[in-house]
Amino acid sequence: MDKKQAKELVIKTARFIDDKKAEEVKVYDLCGLSSLCDYMIIGTATSTPHLDALDMDAGTELKKDGLYKNNRDGGQTTTWRVSDYGAFMMHIMTRAAREFYALDKIFSFGKEVKWQKPKKTAEKSAKKTAKKSAKKAEAQKTVKTAAKKTAKKTVKKAAAKTVKKASKTAVKKTAKTAAKKAVKKTAKKSTK
């Protein structure tokens, strides 16, 4: 396994134990600085059952990638487990053991590796939400505008029909009234 593959597996393992609720997970790059291994993972378990589960589940997960433990120590203890995978070692310990043995200080000569998944920043999330809101608002605005236009057209058509009917009715009434007046005038003239 080359150093790049080893680093990828170390990061994957650190993320895995972090997902399993290990606390204060640290990864140290010891390449060229230690004959022991190239990378060191240190994680804190919250209890003895948690310690057992982290050790067992990490081993099972790494087996899926074809990586098996070369050696394991601490199987009988309730405070610390060490698993040797060749290119890296994984130390899972209780908080008390971590404070007592101070491995973070011992391996502080190594460079700390950033293993955390990139988190979406609040700014990116806000921009994404703003874009979605803007698109939604624009779509709603378009729908409202179309509805208004349709309503205006409908109102205009209805008003035009009403005006047209009213005009026709008014013209008819005016024509009838004028015709009646003309008939009356003619009738009055002929009676004289």
Domain that holds residue 77: 3-118
Domain-located, residue 153: no
CATH number at residue 12: 3.30.460.10
Answer whether residue 86 shows pLDDT above 70: yes
The answer to the question of residue 37 being in a domain is yes
Residue 128 lies in a domain: no
**Residue 134, domain member (yes or no):** no
Based on the structure, what is the number of domains in the chain? 1
Which tens digit of pLDDT belongs to each residue from 34-51?
888 899 999 999 999 999
Beta strands in 1-108 (DSSP E): 23-29, 39-45, 71-73, 80-84, 88-94
pLDDT of residue 117: 81
Do 92 and 55 touch, CB atoms closer than 8 A? Answer: yes
Where does the pLDDT of residue 188 fall: very low under 50, low under 70, confident under 90, or very high at 90 and above? low
If pLDDT is split at 50, 70 and 90, which confidence band does 74 have?
confident
